[in-house]
Structure 1
Amino acid sequence: MNSINKNPTFDPACAELRLWLPELAEGQPLPPAAAHLAAHLPACPACQIELAELRQLFNDLDALPPELPPLTMRDDFQALLNEEKAKLAAASPAGLSAQRGGQALPPAFQANSINQKLGARNQESQTQTWLRMAASVALVAIGAVLGLLLRGSAPGASAPLAQVEESRPSLSVQLAAARQQPGTASQRLQLVSQAPALVTEPNDPAVLTLIHTLDTDPNPNVRLAACEALVRLRQDPRVGPALVEALPLQTDPNVQITLIDALVTLREKRAVPSLEQLAKKPEALPAVRLQAENGLGQLI
């Protein structure tokens, strides 16, 4: 008699069970319709190996950090957005007037604009009506401004708007106050995201606040936002060394990958020793070690 080699690949029970291996790898039980396959798995080494491989694959996928766009891509998008805003401003009637050296637009253009907006048949009478209304509004506005000026010159007057802005708490004070309150990570995240727009002078204390936030904030999303804000402020000489020193302190994979990307963007060769250590760190995620190796390849 010829012996028949039963290959598990062609075993009908293996083929049927293979359809349910992903659910088993995720910890789900077999459905009632496949309950008869429960006895097949302990007796089939091939199905056991495939199930173990699927579990390892799912664990590796769960351990991977989410893919983040490079910081250079975000800077390019911001520049493109600003360019489109400038084009829209230039295409508006106010922008066209500014391009003409501040001169008024031609009367024909003004008439067409009024006709399109008002849909009036009698242009002359409606224009006079609007002029009278505009004159009235202008008189009211002038009176209000004069009243504010007179009130500001009187004793005990309220502070000017610039002084009110200066009296607002600094970024450091606002972040410190937000950290003292539970559940305010979103508030700290908003403050950190707005920080680059508040920095207008060299050696601004807000940069040190962002560095301290990157090093010590308990929320990884806030630290991530602080890193991105510092990259936008990379003209400050304190940013580069601070990012280099922050890399060994971080344990969150998203922050680590963003920091590596930032250091490569800034061409910070001082980060090479830290990147070498991170690339060989056994407890670091494979994606982080790979990012560190890629960073070394670009900096060395």
Structure 2
Amino acid sequence: MSFVQIKDVVKKYSHQISVDHLNLTIQEGEIFGLLGPNGAGKSTTIKMLSGLLKIDQGEMIVDGLSVAKDMLEVKRKIGLVPQELAIFETLTARENVTFFARLYGLSGKLLKERVEEALAFVGLSDRARDKPNSFSGGMKRRLNIACAIMHHPKLIIMDEPTVGIDPQSRNHILDSVRSLNRMGSTIIYTSHYMEEVSAISSRVGIMDHGHLIACGTQEELRSKVAQDNKVVLQVAHLKDEAVKELREHPRIKQVTVQDQLIELLVGSSQAYLQDILFILAKYDVKIQSLTQVEPDLEALFLSLTGRTLRD
């Protein structure tokens, strides 16, 4: 069943189009990963869907309700975890969650139950009386989530919820996303960490220049670049001239260098392997190991956009 429908949506800033006739359907009960380089239109789309920005053209529907016409009712169904922390440093953790619970109309016994439930869910019950100014970055992110879920939203939108936190907190948040989904929430999840989206998403959409350029399960998306492969080389005595010539090769789509490790996205690893080896030998670059890797979500992204996720 379609839970979120985005139909021919346009958003302009002055003369610049941020979202350009976007069409997207998200099914009830799925975790939908939304990817795109900076400026692709992801955040603008999320802001329109959550009622923070006006839709210039087109229509957005959540659970059968129009975002434009039934704004208040739609907001009751949504929990938004913004990229920028939306918490008050001078209030305790419990007071923060209580504040947002009251905004959603909760009161009395139900309010108290939901606040304690949300704090327990994110693992902050023992810090409920403390203020966020004493919290780590990961704890603040978890409090941000508690403030967004205490009203049991049917749709949870998470915009970069793990930015700048430690691996343990990141794993806790990813586990929380899975738990919320099992409890019945549909989730839209954006991240600059490709491995996160790959780990939790049932379907993935890729945006670029305001358009949805690919959408489907990871298996469906990988099939789109089945002809592409990644070649990983561990080398010695790497020279800038060799890297430059590899990048200028017409059939090598991407060259990434880290210390003495080279990763290349090529149209056909077999067909162009000889060219790669010839270029490296030409500059006396010694190959210590060579691995061919089947395309993954990152390779798909690079192939479709020609850019890294943080470009």
Q: Same fold (TM over 0.5)?
A: no
TM bin (shorter chain): under 0.3
Structure with greater strand share of residues: 2
Q: Which protein has the bigger helix share?
A: 1
Q: Greater relative contact order (Cα 8 A, min sep 6): structure 1 or 2?
A: 2
Higher-Rg member (1/2): 1
Q: TM-score, normalised by structure 2?
A: 0.27
